[in-house]
Amino acid sequence: MAAETQDIGKFLEISENLYEAAMAIAKRARQINEELFQKKRDRQILEELEGGLDEDFLQAEIEDGEESEVPEEDNPISKAQEEFSAGKLEIHYEPGQG
């Protein structure tokens, strides 16, 4: 997936600070990337077990993860930007910061 030019104004409409927007998007992109890595790792472990688990159990796990699964071709950064633009991400501050 090729990189696209981003409209900074779009992010400033949602957040007053561009740095905050970039940090929120970066943090979510890392979370998405970690989720994808974990799913790949889990699949690899299951393949190594060579069918040692019940098929019904495996099917239930696949159905549970379908809603939050990000397609492999999607870039985690692009997905995080889409979520931020759609208002799905919130910025929270720790006490004593910001």
> Helix, strand, coil % (nearest 5) of the chain?
60, 0, 40
Output the CA–CA distances (angstroms, integers) from residue 26 to 9, 17, 31, 45, 89, in the order listed.
18, 14, 9, 28, 11
Domain ranges of the chain: 16-85
Give the pLDDT confidence of 28-79 residue by residue, as tens digits: 999 999 999 999 998 888 888 866 555 666 566 555 555 555 445 578 999 9
pLDDT at 53: 54
